[in-house]
Structure 1
Amino acid sequence: MPYTDLTLRPSRPTWPAMLNGMKCRCPNCGQGKLFSSYLKVVDQCDVCGTELFHHRADDAPPYIVITIVGHLAVGAVLHMEMSSTPLHPLTYLWVMIPLIIISSLILLPITKGAVVGLQWARYMHGFDPVGAHDDFEDDERS
C-alpha cells in the first residue's frame, strides 16, 4: 500500500473520495450514506464504519454554491437580455428566482459531500488518527 508522506499514513485517493461525497456516499467505501438528513453528515458510515463526524465543511459549500449559481444566473440573464425579443421585467423575476433557489438547494449537498470527501482523503481536521492523538495530548498538558 503506498504511503502519502513521512507519517506512514496510507494514501487515500482524493478524486474518488470527492466523487463518492458528491454522490452523497461515504468517501471511503462509496456504499454507505453520507447524510442522515438534508445536510446533516452521519457520525459513522453504516457499511464500513468510517467515522465522519470529524468534518469541518462549515462555510465552504455555500461559497462554492454561490459562485456556481451566480455564474449560471448571470449567464441566463445575459442570454435573456440579448435575445431578439424584448422581455417584460417581471419575466426575470419569475424565471430567475426559482432557478436560483432550486439550483442552490440541489447543489448544496453535492458540494458539501465533495468537501467532506476532500477532507477525509487529505487527512484534514480529525480525519487524521495521528493528529487527533496529538491534539488530545496538547489538551492534557494545558
Structure 2
Amino acid sequence: MTKLRVGLLLLCLGAGALVGWAALQWLTSAGRLAPVLDYTALFSMGAVSVIVLVLGIRIKRSTSGAGHIDPIAAARTLVLAQAAAYAGAVIAGWHLPAVLMLWLASGSSPTLTRALVLGAGGVAMVIIGYIVQHLCKIPPEDPEENADGTVTE
C-alpha cells in the first residue's frame, strides 16, 4: 500500500476549492446563499473520524501484542483512513472560497463561522487519516526475511 501523498492531498484541496469557488460564483450571482454545509454535516464527519480512529487503535493494539489481527482488516482500515483524509481535504477546499469571500465581504457572520468550523472539520479528518495510517503498520510476518525483499535459498 502507498502512503498518503501530501501532493495528492493538496490536489484534492485545490479541486475542492476550485469547484467550491465555481459554485459560490454561480449561486451568489443568482442571489442565493453561499454553498456552505450545515452543522449537521459535522455529525457525519465526526462519526467517520471516530470510527476510523477506533479501528486504527484496534489495529495498533493488535500489532503491539494484545491480539491477532487479520492483515486484510489492517489494509481495509488503512484504505478507510486514506479515503477519510482525501474527503477531508475536499471538504476543507470546498469551504475555503466561502471563508475568503465572506470574510472579505462582511467580516464576522454566522455563515462565515459555519464555513470555518466545517473547514476545520475537514482538516481534522485529514489529520486523523494521517495518524491512523501510521497506526496500521503491521510488522512483517517473518522477521528473518531480508529487508530488501529478495528471496534467498
TM-score bin, normalised by smaller chain: 0.3 to 0.5
TM normalised by structure 1 equals 0.33
TM normalised by structure 2 equals 0.31
